Amino acid sequence: MSLEGKLTKAQKAAAVLVAMGKPSAGKLLRFFKQEELKALIDAARMLRTIPQSELENIVAEFEEEFAEGAGLLDSGDQMDNILNSTLSPEEISALMGWGKPSLMSDEAPPIWPELAELEPVRLGLLLGGEHPQTIAMVFSNLESQPAANALLTFDKPMRSEVLKRMLSMTTVQPAAKQLVENQLRARIASDSNGKDVSAGQSRVASLLNELDKSVLDEIVEDLEASGVDGIEGVKARLFTFDDIIGLDQKSRVTLFDGLSTEMVTMALRGAPADLTEAVLSAIGARSRRMIESELTIESDAATAAEIGKARKRIAATAIGLAATGAIDMPSMQSAA
């Protein structure tokens, strides 16, 4: 007597998994939801010995239904496994919500040099809302410095998630990489329409933020005296380490949450007493004691270049956090 017609779909699925064996079945089980796993376990417990001929019919039925289109798994937690497996461009496009892969073009130049030229805040906003796996893939193809600067514009949980995925990332299919490139290219083109003035102000501000405050202030004064258009928009985007003293306490706490004590210690070398207190008051008691102790000891590594580098990194972090609304920066509020 045949059992095939009496088996439920869950029992048939359980039978196929049992026939596959532990290694292969174990890989597939990670993609099932909790309620689906429970149904499979219950079904497996009710299974009896299935003749080989009937098992072959069940497998054939599975193959036929899969060929007709079984749909895609919707587990976002497994996106990194799915993206780097042997999916077609259409499947990758569907998973990422990019629509049809008609955006692909083998003739278009690589997007990575163009992305590397974007200011960190704009690149962060460009990638905002993307899956961490997509962001990890983009950062893996960028030069280290622009990728690091853009990473600082994300909040701590997202930074950790992106870095975790970069560590485990294997080779990405050329088709998937091409899809990402073309989507980003289209997004940059769309974002640029009607925003030329703002983009220019951001570029100038990004350049000025790399300068020492004394030089920066002198250039801004010259620009104001010349009557050049857009200077107010540029000023609203300027932020240096010295400006930390103007942030409210909540914003300072958010800014220094997650920054290393080594970087903060280096940045505070030679800083005025009021600025040093503004920074230390936003840090936990244990970290504060460590930093204060380190500041009493001279360091050969504390060159002007290294101090300036640490201060610029902290200022860049503040700019990124302000752009995402994580901290309150009055100058950027007035630019909105």
Name which of 35-49, 63-77, 296-310 the model is least confident about: 63-77
Name which of 94-98, 195-199, 309-313 the model is least confident about: 94-98
CATH of domain 239-335: 1.10.220.30
Q: 260 vs 26, which has greater pLDDT?
A: 260
pTM: 0.41
d(C-alpha 208, C-alpha 201), whole Å:
11
What pLDDT is recorded for position 255? 92
Per-residue pLDDT band at 261 (split at 50, 70, 90): very high
pLDDT tens digits for 71-110?
A: 333 333 344 444 444 445 554 455 444 444 444 444 567 7
pLDDT tens digits for 13-29?
A: 777 766 666 566 666 66
pLDDT at 193 over 70: no
Residue pair 123/115 in contact by the 8 Å Cβ criterion:
yes
Residue pair 201/230 in contact by the 8 Å Cβ criterion:
yes
**Average pLDDT of the chain to the nearest whole number:** 74
| Contact partners, residue 195, CB within 8 Å, separation at least 6 | none
* Burial class, 290, CB count within 10 angstroms (exposed 0-12 / middle 13-18 / buried 19+): middle
Q: In the chain, what are the domain boundaries? A: 4-70, 78-193, 239-335
Element (H, E) at 260: none
For the record, the structure tokens of 221 come out as: 């004064």
What pLDDT is recorded for position 48? 61
Fold of 4-70: Annexin V; domain 1 (1.10.220)
What pLDDT is recorded for position 28? 64
Mean pLDDT (whole number) for 226-255: 84
* Class of CATH domain 78-193: mainly alpha
Mean pLDDT (whole number) for 263-282: 94
What pLDDT is recorded for position 125? 83
d(C-alpha 146, C-alpha 112), whole Å:
10
Asked whether this chain's domains 78-193 and 239-335 adopt the same fold, the reply is yes
| Contact partners, residue 289, CB within 8 Å, separation at least 6 | none
